[in-house]
Copies of this chain bind each other. A is one copy, B any other.
C-alpha cells in the first residue's frame, strides 16, 4: 500500500542506502544514478516517512511553539517572526495553543517533548517554578519568547516592559499631565502586568507625583475591560487628564468609553499604551503607543534557538530588544 524506500530501491535497481542518499542530498551519488532514483520516486509517488526518519536519525527538524492565545494579535505577530526564520533554516513548526492556562501549558510542553521536537519556544505567559521543572526534564534547548523567567536562568528574548511603561508615562508627563490613571493587567503576571505597573509607579515617583489608588484599576488585557475601567475613571470626582493602558486593546476600549461619554480624545482625556498592534492605527484618533518589535522578538528567539540546537556558540543567552514610542494622535499637550 504505502511505498517505501525499499520499493524505490528495487524499482531503480539500486540499494536502499543509495535512495536514502539521494533523498538526503548526499553528494556521493553518481548523477546518473541520482537520475534513475528520482525517476523511480516519481513513478512510484514515493513520499519519505518523516516519522521513520525521525526515529532513525533522532532528529525531527521540528520545533515546538507554545502560544498562549492564538487569537491575540501580539502573539500572532510574534509567531510570524518565528515562522519566517524557522523556514529559513528548514525547520517545521508545531504551534500549540495553551489558552493561557498553566495546566495546559505544562501539558503541551510535555506532548511536544514526547513528539521529539528538536527545540522548544515558549511564548508569552508567566513562567512558574513548575514550568522550569518541565523544561529541566527536556533534553533539547528551550528559549522563552516575549517573556522571561524570574531567575533569568533560561534563554529568552523580550523587551524591557518596565522601561516601556516608564517611557509611556513619561511621555504623558512631558506633555504636562499630572493626573495620570492606569489600566493595568494582573499584577500576578510577572513579565507583563507587574513590570508595566512598576514602570508606571517609577515614572510618577520620579516626577514627584503621589500614587493615587483610585487611579489604578486592574483589567484583563482585553478591549471590554478597557471600556469598563475607563468608565470608572470617568465617574471619579476628579477625572484623570490622561490614562496609561497596559495594552493597546484596553487603550482602544478606553478611547471608546471616553467617546461614548460624549468627551473627546485627546482634548478631554489623553490615552497612551504599550504594544502597537495593527489596530492601533485603526482607530480614531489613532493611538499613541510604545511599540514592541513583535516580529523581531519572534525572529530573534527562533534564531537563538537554531544556534542552540546546532550547538553553535551564542554571545547572549538573554536578549532585550529595544522599544520605541510611536507618536500618533491620542495624547494632547496641556
Contacts and interface: CB of A to CB of B under 8 A. Distances in A.
Interface string A50-94: 111011000010100000001101001101100100000000111
Given A48-B114, A50-B114, A284-B256, A96 B96 contact: no
Nearest to A116: B51
Contacts of A51: 51, 54-55, 60, 115-116
A111 interface: yes
Nearest to A294: B71
Copies of this chain, tallied across the complex: 2
Interface in A122-155: 137, 139
A49 interface: yes
A76 B70 CA distance: 6
B60 A70 contact: no
Interface string A12-39: 0000000000000000000000000000
Contacts of A2: 139
Contact of A110 (B47, B79, B97): B47
Closest 5 CB pairs of A and B: A95-B95, A71-B76, A50-B114, A51-B54, A50-B115
Interface of A: 1-2, 45, 47-52, 54-55, 60, 62, 70-71, 73, 76-77, 79-80, 83, 92-97, 110-111, 113-116, 137, 139, 223, 252-253, 256, 259-260, 278-279, 282-284
25 contacts: A2-B139, A47-B110, A47-B114, A47-B137, A49-B55, A50-B111, A50-B114, A50-B115, A51-B54, A70-B76, A70-B79, A70-B80, A70-B83, A71-B73, A71-B79, A71-B80, A92-B111, A93-B97, A94-B94, A94-B95, A95-B97, A253-B282, A256-B282, A259-B284, A260-B284
